Chain A
Amino acid sequence: MALNRKTAVIGSAIFAPVTRQDRALEEILYELAQAALKDAGLTIDDIDGIVVASNDQFDGRAISIMAASGSVGGVDRDILSTPSAGEHAFVMGVLRIASGQYDTHLIVSWSPTEASSLSEAQRLGADPYFHRALPLDELSSNALQAAALAVAAPQAHQLAPRIAARNRANGAHAYPDAAKAPAGEAEIASSEAIRWPVRKGMVSEPITGAVALVIASEDFVDKHGIENPAWVRGMGWATEAGFLGDRELSKAPALEEAARRAYEEAGISDPRQSLDLVELTDVTPYQELLSYEALGLSKPEAWEADLGSGIFDRTGKVPINPSGGIVTLNPVFCTGLIRIAEAAGQVRGKAGRHQIKGARTALAHAASGFAMMYQTVLVLGAEREGVQA
């Protein structure tokens, strides 16, 4: 069912990577929130509510969102937080605006690298009853899923290096100062298997990053004459089961469900026709392939032909990850919200070096947890309503 009121992204700021050591977390968040507000042409006085998301184990803080109350402008203001995923903060903000009780929201997520090991921090997410003794971090879970996918679709092994090479080339174009050097397919395919079948060249080391978005109701957009908003045309989110052993890892049913809902709301029946670009969660290129099928972009039997045709290249009809994706910049906890910010930036015509010319409709796919447990899909459009053609 459609939401009761329409919401648009009207501002954003992405700080990734944050390499400077002269800022404490609170100071980074302060500057980030101010930058997003400036991009929206607003001040904190225009903001009704805030939703933030962070991960206590990554941050080394219990109730880590407490750091946001003063820094992003929460004093005497309304804050909620969704520690399940950065992208869930966006979902919650959209729901709050659609409820009619808020006109604007600031959405913030961050992911520091101050822990001695993010892998260890992730392993605490394995339950102490059955799985804690296993070396189960997010990369391992993604590798298990990759292996399962490659049994169902063996061509994945051959296509994964190609996808990583494309995303890294996109990243080098979009963020030349931050991205690592692009690498060819052969180099990636022969790089060290860090968790078989995932190779070193297919993933990126975690970096510190933070992202903030400003969203507003249609009433606010109209009243303030805000130009080039990116309308939330469709929004779906869903979860897989908690235990990997309970899942068919070569499929992504929660993503299919999230996409079904988002496409239905947006009136999209043929995503390849309707979408001008896609920002998806290439946590490894195998997960990207899995997402192609679930998002209705390409079936396994067509993967090779589609990738060969260049349709998903930066210059193709439906560019995928023009930003370079997660293999380019990997602030682990907020990569999902960054996908949303990137897609919204494209629709707003403010994506920067990697702007896709004439982008009117963009899809953002965010995923979090072990082997993409939480799946979220946003369709963002330049048009407020009407069928996305």
Chain B
Amino acid sequence: MSAPRVGIIGIGQSEFRSRRDDSSYPDLVREAVAKAMTEAQLDFDDIEAIVYSLSPDAMVGIGNAERLGVDAVGGRGKRFLRINTGGATGISSVAAAYYHVAAGACDVVMTAGADKVGECGDSQTVLNKIWDPQYERPLPLGTITMLAMSGIRYAEKYGMTQEDMAQVVVKNRKHASLNPHAHLRKEVTVDEVMASRMISWPIKLMDCCPQSSGGGAMILASERYIKENRLDAVWITGVGHCSETYYIGDRMGNGYMADHADAFALKRSFERAYKMAGITDPRKQVDVAELYAPFSNTEYHAIEAAGLAGLGEAVAQVNEGRFSIGGEIPVNPSGGVLCTNAIAVTAMIRVAEVALQVSGRAGGHQVKGAKLGIASGNGGDHQFFGTMVVEA
């Protein structure tokens, strides 16, 4: 069966900050929803179903916090469900909304959510509880240490240095300085990154994403609805998901399927999205990419998993400026996850930013002439990966 076309007709995102003491959790969802509804020029009656985007409950400190968000998204009496694939939640939610329309269940669907990571005093404690209680949780694992260990393996395999990691930060902070929604917007130098304090070798403070508060919302519609109502839209043409083993120690040793250095399932997920979108040569066909990379080192394997560079080639190409705004395929022109991370919606913002780029509405960080963009999200312990292709 060929895939029905599904369009993006509304986008709303907060200006992300460390704390939003002026807004409760549902107020923050509402803020993004209101923006998306205004942009799409719709009434709540037009929204037929809701996909609620929310990663671990413990991060907002409310069990099944999506229930508290029902009114914020105008969900009463409507079809409503929540998606969670950890850090990939946002893109998985857009995908779930896509399936609502592609299934023929509805014409107009909204996905929305928010996070207040700044209010969780123990985010690495919460994130330690993602591991199995038998074997891996007793270790002092968190998302930072988990991805530091990926960086160690990547460096060993391909020769990445800490200065190379800093180059990603310099690039993304520069991009973020052009994006009013980004949380960390101050430009930095390689020296400043290198001088920032060591958190988890080889990751230093400035190699890390911030803890952000803010919301995101997107409205998707069927091709028929978009044409009948003469709406502006960009189109989701490829969707993919793929997963890896739960156990980090299984991504090394002998005979493994995925190397913890790389992003095996992200690559597989992109292969699925590309196949669906008919993309055969991403290096030539992709104009812009928003790739989920919460720590500087992980942008390298994400670029390679997306097929934008060969294995081990991303480092040199970032250094050459190939993935900067003005370069051949800008990666994370918004500043990316490295500059803004409100976990529940982070991966949704990747899709939203790509949609803005291919519609020519990205503002100060617009990639000139972008017509086809890709987005990704990573969740769990580098385990669940979602990908999407968006076209003008």
Contacts and interface: CB of A to CB of B under 8 A. Distances in A.
Interface string A79-105: 111111100100110111111110000
A92 B99 contact: yes
Contacts of B67: 84, 125, 239, 242, 369-370, 373
Contacts of B105: 1, 3, 95, 98
Interface stretch (B129-137, B152-160, B277-285): B129-137
Contacts of B132: 24, 26, 61, 67
Interface residue tally on B, bucketed by range: 35 or more
Contacts of A246: 71
Contacts of B255: none
B84 A83 contact: yes
A69 B383 contact: yes
A82 B59 CA distance: 17
Interface string A118-159: 000111111111000000000000000000000000000000
B172 interface: no
B61 A128 contact: yes
B66 A100 contact: no
Interface in B226-267: 239-247, 257, 265
B194 interface: no
A241 interface: yes
A238 B98 CA distance: 18
Given A4-B4, A79-B241, A66 B381 contact: yes
B69 interface: yes
Given A2-B104, A76-B257, A239-B80, A96 B63 contact: no
B186 interface: no
A63 interface: yes
Contacts of A121: 63
B56 A55 contact: no
A125 B66 CA distance: 9
Interface residues of A, number: 69
A80 B92 contact: yes
A107 B269 CA distance: 20
A257 B75 CA distance: 13
Contacts of A78: 240-243, 269, 272
A186 B247 CA distance: 53
Interface string B117-142: 00000000011011111100000000
Given A79-B243, A128-B62, A96 B81 contact: no
Contacts of A76: 242-244, 257, 265, 268
Given A84-B64, A125-B63, A62 B81 contact: no
Interface in A213-271: 236-243, 246, 253-254, 257
A62 B84 contact: no
B240 to A, nearest CB: 8
Contact of B81 (A71, A91, A98, A236): A91
Nearest to A235: B105
Which of B95, B243, B247, B384 has the most C-beta atoms of chain A within 10 angstroms of its own C-beta? B243
Nearest to A82: B81
Contact of A62 (B56, B69, B242, B257): B56
Given A61-B130, A100-B1, A101-B3, A237 B80 contact: yes
Contacts of A97: 103
A94 B104 CA distance: 11
B78 to A, nearest CB: 6
Contacts of B215: none
B274 interface: no
Contacts of B66: 84
Interface string A320-342: 00000000000000000000000
A80 B377 CA distance: 13
Interface string B63-99: 1111111110001111111111110000010011011
A65 interface: yes
A80 B83 contact: yes
A317 interface: no
B71 A241 contact: yes
A60 interface: yes
Contact of A242 (B70, B99, B102, B106): B70
A246 B55 CA distance: 26
Contacts of B380: 63, 65-66, 69
Contact of B78 (A5, A126, A239): A239
B86 A253 contact: no
Contacts of A127: 25, 62, 65, 68
A56 interface: yes
A88 B81 contact: yes
B384 A69 contact: yes
A353 interface: no
Contacts of B55: 63
Contact of A66 (B57, B61, B75, B130): B130
A151 B276 CA distance: 56
Contact of A67 (B1, B57, B104, B246): B246
A308 interface: no
Nearest to B379: A63
Nearest to B64: A125
A318 B276 CA distance: 45
A113 interface: no
Given A62-B126, A82-B82, A88-B82, A69 B61 contact: no
A254 B76 CA distance: 8
25 contacts: A4-B4, A55-B64, A56-B56, A57-B64, A60-B129, A61-B129, A63-B85, A66-B130, A66-B246, A66-B381, A66-B383, A69-B383, A74-B243, A76-B242, A76-B243, A76-B257, A78-B243, A82-B84, A84-B64, A96-B99, A121-B63, A127-B25, A239-B80, A240-B77, A242-B67
Interface of B: 1-4, 24-26, 52, 54-59, 61-71, 75-86, 92, 95-96, 98-100, 102-106, 126-127, 129-134, 239-247, 257, 265, 268-269, 272, 276, 379-381, 383-384
Given A60-B129, A62-B59, A237-B79, 10 more contacts: A61-B133, A76-B242, A83-B54, A99-B3, A100-B3, A123-B63, A128-B62, A236-B79, A241-B71, A246-B71
Interface of A: 1-5, 24, 26, 49, 55-57, 60-63, 65-67, 69-71, 74-85, 88, 91-92, 94-101, 121-129, 236-243, 246, 253-254, 257, 369-370, 373-374
The 9 closest A-B pairs by CB, nearest first: A100-B1, A124-B63, A98-B103, A99-B102, A125-B63, A84-B82, A4-B104, A239-B80, A88-B81
